[in-house]
Structure 1
């Protein structure tokens, strides 16, 4: 059965309308620190994290305007995947056009999502043809479209939001091309894992909190990830846990589920006892720009009624990180949590 993660609906289509040296890798610069109170050094670095635009460009515009109001001196914007409904070049162009209409940080950290790989489901932009998948579309073209849009040539990348390291990760294969029994599962190369481990260790030695942006959530973490729909997103979940688990000051931000930030498990600490870190690392649900979901009480999910347009504001001080959930449509704060740094 085709579910909402594997198929973009007709309604979704209609909604379209210098480097910072840092050891062995480099970070893209942010545009400064937003000032705020901090007992340590007198400043707080603020940035936003959103995900799952999926063609809802009107709500994206609303979110950008609200972020400009609440976080005018933002050091960056991270977008955790599902940038487009299907991954067509014209859909990426529509996102760029809408972004250009609104003030936003000069540094945007894009992560790739599963919807960036949905062009092969279509005979043409108006004709769904899953029976003839991949409809002549080669895998490499999907990655090239993302790279051209994001202005880089790798899935994984490091950015700096006012001195705060931000690492984007994601799949390096669309698994349907390799196994007809698969669709959206995340596959990461050993090169990506090594890069991620090296960068986290580098910044941890410098007592920096490390922000990791990924589209798919790890199982048994935040809202929705104990649901059968999201238990098998990563083909190498244990390997990713092995990299993240030792570090108390890692903050993992993930989208994909669209689950409501009103839920109590929007934030958690994931503990892997074998890592020696019995406090765990931090995991946050990012909400979504397009359509919200929540538990249906029967092992599945249901749509959140009414408008839905949610994301996060992150505030990094010298001794803590505060994450605030925001309803962009209602222009209201939903909840927040402050995590001490160690």
Structure 2
């Protein structure tokens, strides 16, 4: 969600075609059983897991999402959370998320990505007093990262885990930009070390002919819903470098949040082709929507809140030949749509 405000609302399920985008061989998937064993469906080696984002203090809807996910996928191989775990990044807010998680059944393996809301403590002189004129109000940049690391159980914003044998990489900013440039706020900065790590891990799994799931909070420009909108074109300070790495790999699936844009939009999933990478098929990019508050196109280059209850996320089903991506409405307990993407790594 843009901090300054909240683009065409279409109810389709096809991939968007546009500048730098192409529709792959993607068809509506046949209905699948909602229950599997140990993250596996009836087909061989199908691994099911779930991805959500943008909890931002809406712990009631977070709990509802966890309950619905357990009902439809009780043996989920993992849960990815694409940032904005908390509303501001206070330690007590992380603790509230952990308590909510512990009160609801959930996968043992949770992959957390850092979001811009994890850096909003400096806007407050205390938890009850907004004081942006005196930013950072004594809060250090290092303390914000330490809070995330303590919660996520690691010491970097980027990490690799496995959901039932499927490699899952999380990415994130390594600076909060306003500490380094007064003209910047939430823009993502990635170090040479993180870029090198990402390049190495994608190459590693490409040699082994494995699809890779990549989770990041901020969306890349000209990808999923909202990212051709002026509000979301400048989220990365080095977008071309990141795109050039991801764009080489046909079986990379990038999941991004931040916009809160509705999964009912037609460009909820796209294929992004990056010129110069030699990969004319592109890679798959998926919008993760949000647990807290939905947004959509206002028809004027901005965005407008989606009326009524909003609580959406994804189920991902990785088989030997295809990946099925399913959009879920947790508030109604219904599927919104699904899409099947053939794997180029399939034998």
TM-score (norm 1): 0.90
Q: Tell me which residue corresponds to 1:12.
A: none
Query: Does the aligned pair in 1 maintain the 2:218–2:258 contact within 8 Å?
Result: yes
The structure 1 segments of at least 4 consecutive aligned residues displaced by more than 3 Å after TM superposition are: none
Cα offsets for 1:103-133 (capped at 9, x unmatched): 1010000000000000000010000000000
SS of 1:275 mapped into structure 2: coil
Matched, 1:142 2:144: yes
Q: Tell me which residue corresponds to 1:15.
A: none
Structure 2 Cα separation of the partners of residues 206 and 69 of structure 1: 33
SS of 1:273 mapped into structure 2: coil
Structure 2 Cα separation of the partners of residues 265 and 197 of structure 1: 27
Cα offsets for 1:118-152 (capped at 9, x unmatched): 00000100000000000011100000000000000
Among 311, 314, 320, the residue aligned to 2:313: 311
Structure 1 Cα separation of the partners of residues 3 and 103 of structure 2: 29
Comparing both chains, which one has the higher relative contact order based on Cα–Cα distances under 8 Å and sequence gaps of 6 or more? 2
Q: Tell me which residue corresponds to 1:5.
A: 3
In the alignment, structure 2 segments of 5+ residues that lack a partner are 6-36
Q: Tell me which residue corresponds to 2:107.
A: 105
Structure 2 Cα separation of the partners of residues 106 and 317 of structure 1: 21
SS of 1:335 mapped into structure 2: strand
Q: Tell me which residue corresponds to 2:15.
A: none
Q: Tell me which residue corresponds to 2:187.
A: 185
Among 288, 293, 296, the residue aligned to 2:295: 293
Spell out the pairing of 1:1-342 with structure 2 (5 A cutoff).
5=3, 33-38=38-43, 42-342=44-344
Q: C-alpha displacement at 1:33, in angstroms?
A: 4.1
SS of 2:66 mapped into structure 1: helix
Query: Does the aligned pair in 2 maintain the 1:33–1:43 contact within 8 Å?
Result: no
Q: C-alpha displacement at 1:34, in angstroms?
A: 1.5
SS of 1:268 mapped into structure 2: strand
Cα offsets for 1:196-235 (capped at 9, x unmatched): 0100110111111100000000000000000000000000
Q: C-alpha displacement at 1:6, in angstroms?
A: 6.2
SS of 2:98 mapped into structure 1: helix
Query: Does the aligned pair in 1 maintain the 2:2–2:259 contact within 8 Å?
Result: no
Cα offsets for 1:33-53 (capped at 9, x unmatched): 422132xxx231000000000
Q: Aligned-residue CA RMSD in angstroms?
A: 1.1
SS of 1:52 mapped into structure 2: coil
Structure 2 Cα separation of the partners of residues 103 and 175 of structure 1: 36
Structure 1 Cα separation of the partners of residues 250 and 38 of structure 2: 23
Query: Does the aligned pair in 1 maintain the 2:2–2:232 contact within 8 Å?
Result: no
SS of 2:276 mapped into structure 1: helix
Query: Does the aligned pair in 2 maintain the 1:116–1:142 contact within 8 Å?
Result: yes
Q: Tell me which residue corresponds to 1:14.
A: none
